[in-house]
Amino acid sequence: MSAMAPPLLEVQEVSKYFGSVIALKDISMSVNAGEVMCLLGDNGAGKSTLIKIFSGVHPPSEGLFLVEGKEVRFTSPRDALNAGIATVYQDLAMIPLMSISRNFFLGSEPTIGWGPFRRFNLEFADRVTREELAKMGIQVRDTAQPVGTLSGGERQSVAIARAVYLGAKVLILDEPTAALGVKEAGVVLRYIAQARARGLGVIFITHNVHHAYPIGDRFTLLNRGRSYGTFSKSEVSREEVVGMMAGGEELEELSHELDEFAHTDRLVAARMAEASRELSADAGTMPSGPQLTAPASKVEQR
């Protein structure tokens, strides 16, 4: 990539309002070819709203949206796809009971024939699906098997390979590792690295710093609709990212509160122990009461 090449995607001072609600305020970020930009933030930080601006669902209320240095204004997700911006959502937009190849070309089906004899080109779809998945390092037994039989990581790889094949320059991944185990999350991170190696710009949206930090080149942090800024990996540590995501002051305040609770618990425990010892000492010094004897039986009285 040339040093003077503009970013594949860039937003400058973008804001989004829903009536009186400020969903985003003055957000700036960009992603270059061959780069993984991690968009980090806790729940409610504004990540989903920013994704929808990128993917053409919502237009920004303020600010500039640039694609390869040219200002754009998308009116639909189709505009974003035509500009080379593909979004892979958490639900993956797949139909579990349909085959892998059918899902791979869902919405962009290859056909053969003409007029009323036009039909789905199954042979072409199976071949391309197998080739594209092989490029991602995935070998499937049969492309006719339902996509619902694949693991979560494999389904993510199908969605990523589909976006790359359909001409994506920017790949936006919405929480791709959220519902995956440790091993499957590692598989998806490897696919992200392969997409970066193929020259795509990847926007990796997550709230899990432990998944983002190993693969990310730069990090943009959101908190309640505002940006803390963009940092390269050399500028910020994993612990600093966690602190900014959660709010460093809030974490410090919570730490103080927990320390106070622990101190109070220790005082209460000490007082209860002292009271218990005093009670035991008092019980040991109490005089014994009179001995009660059982009444004599009638036989003994005689």
pTM: 0.75
pLDDT of residue 254 exceeding 60, the answer is no
d(CA 28, CA 187): 30
Please name the helix (run of DSSP H) or strand (run of DSSP E) that holds residue 272, with its range, or none. helix 248-285
- Mean pLDDT of the 176-197 span: 84
Mean pLDDT of the chain: 84
Residue 300, Cβ density class (10 Å: 0-12 exposed, 13-18 middle, ≥19 buried):
exposed
pLDDT of residue 210 exceeding 90, the answer is no
Q: Residue 297 has what pLDDT?
A: 53
- Look at the block and give the residue holding tokens 């970020």: 29
Q: Residue 93 has what pLDDT?
A: 76
Residue spans of alpha helices (H) in 105-168: 122-135, 152-165
Q: Residue 15 has what pLDDT?
A: 93
pLDDT of residue 75 exceeding 80, the answer is yes
d(CA 274, CA 279): 9
Q: Residue 1 has what pLDDT?
A: 47
What token pair was written down for 85?
């911006």
- Mean pLDDT of the 116-134 span: 91
Q: Is 138 in contact with 160 (CB distance < 8 Å)?
A: no
d(CA 103, CA 101): 5
d(CA 233, CA 298): 98
pLDDT band at 182 (very low <50, low <70, confident <90, very high): confident
For 9-98+151-236, CATH number out of 2.40.37.10, 3.30.1360.200, 3.40.50.300, 3.40.50.920 equals: 3.40.50.300
